[in-house]
Structure 1
Amino acid sequence: MSEQPGMPSASAGATVTAGPPAEGSPPAGREPVVARSREELHAARRALTDGDVAVVMTMGALHEGHATLIETARQRAAHVVVTIFLNPLQFGPREDLSRYPRTFDSDMEICRRAGVDLVFAPTPDVIYRDGDPGVRISAGPLGNVLEGQARPGHFDGMLTVVAKLFHLTRADSAYFGQKDAQQLLLIRRMVRDLDFSVKVISVPTVRESDGLAMSSRNMYLTESDRETALCLSRALRAGAAAASEGPSAVRRAARAVLVREPLALIDYLVLVHPATLEDVPEWYRGEALLAVAGRVGTTRLIDNLPILVGPQGGALEVFSDVESAGA
């Protein structure tokens, strides 16, 4: 969601170029400080005075996708804070919070390898001191479509905790994955609309060797489920390959892959403008978000691909034009 504090600049969402670790970064393998309470967090954060601070927010069950976020942040910032908080506000009545994997020991090992300075791992009563918060941040209309339509209230809960963690960690920058494209857009809008002094940086989606987007939910997939789930990334690649022919060709190519996999129950496949999430018309040329969501077995998965529609079109890693991407 590192550089100097302030509103995101015109390059805030560009692909991050890896470089040498920032001067003063802790060596990989050093034990991070673990804070469980607000007091412990404030004390540990006060010690990070010699340079800017980046935050990577997680709900635990860390994998190599999270590791890439952390390592990218470490290459750019003097210090890295990782939050591990399973936010109950993001789970709807039909979603089982108790089923979400808790893997704190292995999470800490990833943080240790990446040279994280500070891990903030609070319980819900630390974040929400009076229980269910009476005041929440509303995602607005952008939070009611796509994932928001499938998971009512999810993005309100997400923005509420992200805002609180921005305040608590006092980070100069925050790193989020392109995989959660709608979440990334909404966080950028919140930062801009509510004047948060943090720079939001997107990092390309990290994929398994077979193309499956890395997700904590992948551990729920059986072997046969996983094979079925590959249709999502294949559909995105097929759509991107047709991008030079226009929006209809993109949608048609992607759908052709999905209809050949009847075991995947698709919620949506859309080609939308990255700032408005509205379907792009046939005449549209420019950057667009090709996104898909569906259920494989008992697991709901999402994936997306930024693409360039029109001549010389094809897949992108992240959106190059931050203004069009809602920064």
Structure 2
Amino acid sequence: MVVFNKKDELTPFIQNLKKEGKTIGFLPTMGALHEGHLSLAKLSIAQNDYTIVSIFVNPTQFNNPEDLEKYPRTEEKDIELLTQNGIDFVYLPSVSDLYEEGEVAKKYNFGGIENVMEGEFRPGHFDGVATIVSKLIRAVNPDRAYFGEKDFQQVRIVQEMVKQEQLPVEIVPVPIKRAENGLALSSRNVRLSAENLEAAPFIYKVLQDAVSLKNEGKTPDEIKAFVQQTFDQSSFKLEYFEITDEETLQTLESFREHQKARGFVVAYAGDIRLIDNIQF
């Protein structure tokens, strides 16, 4: 494995590989890697000649400075894990390698998908996400970039950014990787107390129950009322539950045949914010 710290060294190296006709898969991460990341990496390895993983905790996507400070950083462990799993290259940049001094996130207009759900509760978050993913894709110039569907709204944001900026890359969404008990794998899970870790599969169970209700003919509003009531009786604090169209991310008032819908949930286990979603 080769580790790059500067895009001025990485970019020409990748360009030379592409001149040789090699395909490049790319996995942008913020580190604290787990089996979810590895499921993306395995797909990239299967679909490309080379795979590169970036590890960068992006400051412009955190609207809460405390959350940025507490975000787990395990670079040595991450690099060891990637080496064991056949990753060819790692890009480990500093903030100054990607951002000019004083630079802030670019302001985007994605037709409204940036303002709902996570966009509503984390103002400016998706400007930061789109800004850094654009910078990373330009530095790496991959053929394909892989994103987990646990952050489904983020996947849609990245797809729209790539369209707007006409970047020559295929965005590959990868299904959520779950623990055996159903908990969606996340870097934040390491911060869960033993008690909350044991209880956390409740979130996925509620999502599964919501799908069952949809299949029984319940309306989105009826399902949302069920989810709220179920969380009210639990140890978790529900921040939001929404049922939306997968493409537009706009809230659904009814289900239509052949329409792709998805349920999104955010809940707190203590002070840890957990997100999950499921296709209806």
Could you state the TM-score of these two structures normalised by the residue count of structure 1? 0.79
Correspondence for 1:8: none
User: 1:134 & 1:290 partners in 2: Cα distance?
Assistant: 29
1:251 Cα deviation after fit:
3.4
Correspondence for 1:264: 236
Correspondence for 1:301: 274
Paired positions, count: 275
Is this contact kept in 1: 2:246–2:260, CA < 8 A? yes
Is this contact kept in 1: 2:23–2:49, CA < 8 A? yes
Correspondence for 2:9: 40
Correspondence for 1:274: 246
User: 2:110 & 2:84 partners in 1: Cα distance?
Assistant: 35
Deviates more, 1:214-223 or 1:243-252: 243-252
User: 1:229 & 1:124 partners in 2: Cα distance?
Assistant: 34
1:231 Cα deviation after fit:
2.0
Is this contact kept in 1: 2:182–2:201, CA < 8 A? yes
1:242 Cα deviation after fit:
2.4
Is this contact kept in 2: 1:83–1:120, CA < 8 A? yes
Give 1:44's aligned amino acid.
F
Correspondence for 1:219: 190
RMSD: 1.8
Could you state the TM-score of these two structures normalised by the residue count of structure 2? 0.92
Give 1:297's aligned amino acid.
G
Equivalent positions of 1:198-237 (< 5 A) are: 198-237=169-208
Correspondence for 1:159: 130
Runs of 5+ unmatched residues, structure 2: none
More helix by share: 2
Q: Given the superposition, is the C-alpha separation of residues 265 and 47 from structure 1 closer, same or farther in structure 2, using an over 3 Å criterion? A: same
**Match for residue 41 of structure 2 among 66, 70, 89:** 70
Is this contact kept in 1: 2:237–2:267, CA < 8 A? yes
Is this contact kept in 2: 1:139–1:159, CA < 8 A? no
Q: Given the superposition, is the C-alpha separation of residues 283 and 80 from structure 1 closer, same or farther in structure 2, using an over 3 Å criterion? A: closer
Q: Given the superposition, is the C-alpha separation of residues 134 and 87 from structure 1 closer, same or farther in structure 2, using an over 3 Å criterion? A: closer
1:194 Cα deviation after fit:
2.6
Name the structure, 1 or 2, with higher relative contact order (CA <8 Å, separation 6+). 1
User: 1:100 & 1:301 partners in 2: Cα distance?
Assistant: 14
1:179 Cα deviation after fit:
0.4
User: 2:5 & 2:260 partners in 1: Cα distance?
Assistant: 42
- For the pair 1:57 / 2:28, whether they are aligned, the reply is yes
Runs of 5+ unmatched residues, structure 1: 1-31, 308-327
Q: Given the superposition, is the C-alpha separation of residues 58 and 283 from structure 1 closer, same or farther in structure 2, using an over 3 Å criterion? A: closer
CA-to-partner distance for each residue in 1:101-132, whole Å, 9 max, x for gaps?
11111111221122111110101011003332
1:298 Cα deviation after fit:
1.1
Indicate the SS of the match to 1:242. helix
- For the pair 1:104 / 2:75, whether they are aligned, the reply is yes
1:201 Cα deviation after fit:
0.7
Deviates more, 1:139-148 or 1:271-280: 139-148
User: 1:161 & 1:302 partners in 2: Cα distance?
Assistant: 21
Correspondence for 1:85: 56
